[in-house]
Structure formats: structure tokens, C-alpha cells
């Protein structure tokens, strides 16, 4: 009962709708560039168009939707160039987190990262993307979390979501997994040695490396990954 009261006080209809629509947009239900009908959305969520419009504006501000005057809201279409730009931003944020963490990581945190490394190594040995992806996601997220900067963490998460709209990206294949984890190990090593500059460098290069893995070399025959449920790019 008390929890319900608090819920009503902290979550307005709009804020709930916001989260609903964010997950809807990120779910991949709409194709890139597809137009969203305000009325349909309003009917779908049983609210009027006002809140829907507000949420659309907010999501557009975050780069998930695109607004065109008098024409409506469209799913943000992220091409390869834009994705490449996003990777550079992400690299900076991740590098910042790694650098900050280098000077303050606790032993427990380092061993937790070490544990993730080992589990990812196991996944590499098994050539299992399904095992690797969630661990990889947790690894990155842990570094952001351990860095102890909520704003940095938030900025990073939002960027990852935005990058998630780039659907044409390739899934990590074969040797890519191993390379990725070697880079992970390099980051953790720098953290263990409390070498801030090295940690930053390793983290930055890791994301940039992911950027170059983003698109498959032409003619490999692999289809563009749908990446549904992968949760993160490597």
C-alpha cells in the first residue's frame, strides 16, 4: 500500500508512458525511418495524444526518434557514418570510466572483473555468442558502475541504446570474440596495476576496435545481424 502510494507520487502517466515507449522503440518493432502514428500510439496505450507527443519530443531529444515538422515522428535511421561517430563518443566515455576506476578500484571489484574475464574466456572456448554477449555487457557495465560516476554511467547507457538503433551492424564472429576478450584483459591488467593512462588507452582502443568490427568485411557471406536481445555491441 505504501509502495503503491509512492508509485503514484513518483510516476506520472507520462513518465510511465515514456518508459513503455522507449522499450517499444528499442524493441525493433518499427523499422528505421518508419513513421509513428501519434493517434495509434495514443490508442495503443489508452491515453490521449498530448502525453504521447510529450514523450515523442523527449525521445527525439535523446536521439531515438526524429521529428519532421508537419509530418510527424520517425524512427531514427542510423547509417554507418553516424554509428561510427557514436562509437567515438562511446570510446571517450568508456575510456574516462576506465581511467577513473584505475585510481579507485577495490580488490573486490578487480576480482569481479577478473571473474567475468574467465567466464568470457570459457565462452570464447565454446565459441558461444549467447554466453559471451551478456557477460560482455556486464563487463562494460561493471566498469561504468565501479567508476562511481552516475552521470557518466547514464550518458554511456543512453549512448549504447542509441547505438542499438543501428541494426545493420555485424555480430561478432569467430576470432572476433577472442580478440575482444584479449582487449578486455588488457583493460583489467591496467586497472590492477593502477595505471590510469594505460587503462584509458586500452579502454579507448577496445571500443574503437569494436567500431572496426561493426561492419563485416565485404563478401564474408554473413547476413547483417539482427542483434535482437544481444543487449550491447562489443
Partner DNA sequence: TTACTGAAAACTGTCAACAGAATACACTTC
Partner DNA sequence: GAAGTGTATTCTGTTGACAGTTTTCAGTAA
Residues that bind a second copy (CB under 8 A): 9-12, 14-15, 50, 53-55, 57-58, 60-62, 69-70, 82, 85-86, 88-89, 91-97, 99-100, 149-152, 155, 197, 200-201, 204
By a kind-dependent CB cut-off of 5 to 8 A, residue 35 interacts, out of DNA, a second copy, none, with DNA
List of long-range contacts for 28-31, beta carbons under 8 Å, 24+ apart: 28/167, 28/226, 28/228, 30/75, 31/75
Q: How far is the CB of 158 from DNA (least distance, A)?
A: 23
**Distance between CA atoms of residues 173 and 214, nearest Å:** 11
Which has the closest alpha carbon to 128: 65, 171, 163?
171
Tell the smallest beta-carbon distance from residue 47 to DNA (Å): 4
Residue 67 CB neighbour total at 10 angstroms = 13
Query: Which partner from the list DNA, a second copy, none does 179 bind, CB cut-off 5 to 8 Å by kind?
Result: none
Scanning residues 25 to 54, which ones bind DNA (CB under 7 A)? 35-39, 46-51, 53
* Complex with a second copy: residue 8 or 107, whichever CB lies closer: 8
Residue linked to cell 508509485: 7
**96 binding partner (options a second copy, DNA, none; Cβ < 5 to 8 Å by kind):** a second copy
Q: Which residues contact 119 (CB under 8 A, 6 or more apart)?
A: 131, 135
The answer to whether 172 touches 181, Cβ cutoff 8 Å, is no
Residue 155 binding partner per list DNA, a second copy, none, with a CB distance cut-off of 5 to 8 Å that depends on partner kind: a second copy
Q: Which is nearer to DNA, 70 or 220 (CB)?
A: 70
User: Binds 32, which of a second copy, DNA, none (CB < 5 to 8 A, cut-off by type)?
Assistant: none
Query: β-pairing, 65-68 with 35-36?
Result: unpaired
Amino acid at each position: 500500500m505504501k509502495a503503491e502510494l509512492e508509485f503514484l507520487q513518483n510516476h506520472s502517466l507520462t513518465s510511465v508512458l515514456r518508459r513503455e515507449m522507449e522499450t517499444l522503440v528499442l524493441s525493433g518493432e518499427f523499422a528505421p525511418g518508419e513513421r509513428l502514428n501519434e493517434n495509434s500510439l495514443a490508442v495503443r496505450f489508452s491515453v490521449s495524444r498530448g502525453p504521447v507527443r510529450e514523450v515523442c519530443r523527449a525521445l527525439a531529444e535523446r536521439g531515438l526518434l526524429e521529428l519532421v515538422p508537419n509530418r510527424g515522428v520517425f524512427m531514427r535511421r542510423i547509417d554507418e557514418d553516424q554509428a561510427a561517430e557514436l562509437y567515438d563518443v562511446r570510446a571517450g566515455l568508456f575510456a574516462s570510466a576506465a581511467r577513473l576506476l584505475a585510481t579507485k578500484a577495490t580488490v573486490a571489484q578487480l576480482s569481479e572483473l577478473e571473474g567475468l574475464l574467465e567466464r568470457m574466456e570459457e565462452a570464447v572456448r565454446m565459441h558461444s555468442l549467447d554466453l559471451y554477449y551478456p557477460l560482455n555487457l556486464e563487463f562494460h557495465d561493471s566498469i561504468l558502475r565501479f567508476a562511481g560516476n552516475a552521470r557518466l554511467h547514464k550518458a554511456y547507457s543512453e549512448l549504447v541504446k542509441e547505438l542499438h538503433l543501428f541494426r545493420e551492424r555485424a555480430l561478432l564472429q569467430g576470432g572476433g570474440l577472442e580478440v575482444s576478450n584479449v582487449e578486455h584483459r588488457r583493460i583489467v591488467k591496467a586497472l590492477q596495476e593502477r595505471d590510469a593512462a594505460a587503462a584509458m588507452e586500452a579502454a579507448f582502443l577496445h571500443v574503437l576496435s569494436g567500431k572496426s568490427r561493426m561492419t563485416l568485411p565485404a563478401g564474408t557471406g554473413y547476413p547483417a545481424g539482427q542483434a535482437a536481445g544481444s543487449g550491447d555491441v562489443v
